[in-house]
Amino acid sequence: MGDEDSYSVTVTLTRGTGTDDRDKMKATVEADTLEELDEKLGEMRDRLEDLAADVRDIQPEERLRQLAENQRTLEGQEAGNP
């Protein structure tokens, strides 16, 4: 592809706003003609949609400390006795 007659588009997709729920994807499409670029952009969009759906299904493992069954409530405990 020659620089003078080629087309390129970079798309950055960010989903979520918080530190722990943000997913970011970036893709670049290049083509010799605008028609080819439109076709490739459509294909890229479909793939990014599929990828975003897959990424949304991935959930971080629970990292909180698990309490033993007998420590889940304070029932039956007297003040000052652990």
Looking at the structure of the chain, the number of domains it has is 1
pLDDT confidence of residue 56 = 76
Residues spanned by the domain of 23: 7-59
12 lies in some domain: yes
Written as six digits, the tokens of 82 are: 């652990």
Nearest to 14 by CA among 3, 6, 26, 4: 26
77 lies in some domain: no
Written as six digits, the tokens of 73 are: 């409530």
79 lies in some domain: no
72 lies in some domain: no
pTM of the model: 0.55
pLDDT band at residue 32 under the 50/70/90 scheme: very high
